Amino acid sequence: MSEQEMLVLSTRDRDRLKVLHEVQQGHLTQREAAEQLKVTDRWVRQLLGRVGREGDQGVVHGLRGRASPRRLGERRRGQILKLVKAKYRDFGPTLAAEYLREEDGIAISKETLRQLLTEAGLWRAKRRRAEEVHVWRPRRSCRGELVQWDTSEHDWLEGRGPRLQLVAMIDDASSVAFCRFVRQDTTEENLRGLWGYLERWGRPVEFYTDKDSRFTVNRPLPIATDEAVPEELTQIGRALRELGIGWIAAHSPQAKGRIERFFGTAQDRLVKGMRRAGVCSLEQANAYLERTYLPLWNRRFTVAAANPTDAHRRLRTEHDLAAILSQVKERAVTNDYTIRYQGKIYQIGREEIRAGMRGGRVRVERHLDGSLAVRFRDRYLGVQERKPQPKPAPEPKMRPEVRKQKFTPRSGWMDHFNLGKSPPLWAIVKTEAATPATG
């Protein structure tokens, strides 16, 4: 048999052909063959007729080897490749297919575009590295039960503006996201992000973060296991405790993989979207997040929670966000009813003085808007900055008067060792003899 006449059968075709041969030999009935092949009796009879007329070739589909009638024409393929090279050079097939449909009006599936780009050498599938296997943790059942919180440092504007960082919070049960761009990943900026989340959704049950110094006080372990160590909280940790929100620390990046995958998607889709929109500043980046990217993410990449109950809790009257989400310190009240804070002196008003205030402790709050508030127990106090009293200039030190000492002759035995420095002994005796006596 020549190479052109060789019949190429798939595994499925070979299995079908074997069953049909069993039917032809009378070892199986048509109904038994239909049960084995999971087809109808009618289709078995049609296959038997085709095999009887065409031989083993009858089990091969008639369209095998033919071009699909829906195949893109060469002109259309060239047009798509030209657009991708000009506008979407570094886009993946999925994202490029979306932009081709939304901006250029070209409807093409992501798999067709993937094959087209692979044949043209514009796309190469990334090979996954052999990494340590991590068991996937199941999602929490209710929305608001656990929220992952982290920051991503990346060249989000690709050099068109300042270098920004993305502070994000993502719900573990549904993947609903909330994020904002900041210039620096500081405690104040994270508190502002927390404020925005609380106003939009309410108080979640727990936050899941890494062990960064913004969330936990990193210090060496005590030497003795039974040593009592006072608990220390960061400003964010204190704020979460006052809000009644729990905190869980992740021991590895893989443990908070949901928000890590969110950042991976954002570093592809968000970066390219802001490039297409011409975003080049912090304000424009946050506006694009709020109006375009977050609605797209929450519409396409979120899932329904297993339990429809929302675990978020409302903010109550005692939850004063301006006071809780601030830099809080304690200061001692001196005998003249002043406090010192950040190198400045603040005087408590006379009408604000209460029993037990002198020598007591007050709570000093530096709010996110820069204002200062001082609270003693449950009452806020009116304070004014007081300039320190200038110190009196020190009196100039008088230089002591130097008195000239009279010459006193030395003893004769010293003259023996200091020749040339003092008169000899005979000169001293002669001088004393020549001096007239007084009185």
β-pairing, 142-143 vs 307-310, is parallel
- For residue 275, tell me if it sits in a domain: yes
- Are residues 180 and 287 both part of a single domain? yes
Give the bridge partners for 142, in sequence order: 307
- For residue 37, tell me if it sits in a domain: yes
- For residue 289, tell me if it sits in a domain: yes
- pLDDT, position 211: 87
- Are residues 167 and 303 both part of a single domain? yes
Does an H or E element contain 247, and which? strand 246-249
Q: What is the mean pLDDT of each run of 10 residues along the chain (439 residues)?
A: 59 85 89 89 89 83 71 82 88 90 88 87 73 72 95 94 95 95 94 95 94 80 59 89 93 86 94 94 96 94 94 93 94 91 90 88 93 91 84 74 62 52 55 54
- Are residues 371 and 412 both part of a single domain? no
- Are residues 203 and 110 both part of a single domain? no
Listing DSSP states for 59-75 in one string gives: GS-TTTTSPPTTPPPHH
- Are residues 261 and 297 both part of a single domain? yes
- Are residues 114 and 187 both part of a single domain? no
Output the domain CATH number for residue 187. 3.30.420.10
Percent helix, strand, coil in the chain, to 5, is: 40, 15, 45
- Are residues 291 and 182 both part of a single domain? yes
Residue 185 makes CB contacts below 8 A (sequence gap 6+) with: 151, 153, 165, 167, 214
Give the bridge partners for 363, in sequence order: 330, 375
- pLDDT, position 415: 52
- For residue 400, tell me if it sits in a domain: no
- Are residues 210 and 236 both part of a single domain? yes
- Are residues 152 and 236 both part of a single domain? yes
- For residue 125, tell me if it sits in a domain: no
- For residue 6, tell me if it sits in a domain: no
- Are residues 148 and 297 both part of a single domain? yes
Query: What are the b/e assignments for 324-339, b being 16+ CB within 10 Å?
Result: bbbbbeeeebeeebeb
- For residue 135, tell me if it sits in a domain: no
- pLDDT, position 435: 55
- For residue 31, tell me if it sits in a domain: yes
User: Which one of 270, 285, 310 terminates a domain?
Assistant: 310
- Are residues 244 and 148 both part of a single domain? yes
- Are residues 372 and 348 both part of a single domain? yes
Domain that holds residue 430: 408-434
- What predicted TM-score, i.e. pTM, was given to this entire model? 0.71
- Count of structural domains, the chain: 5
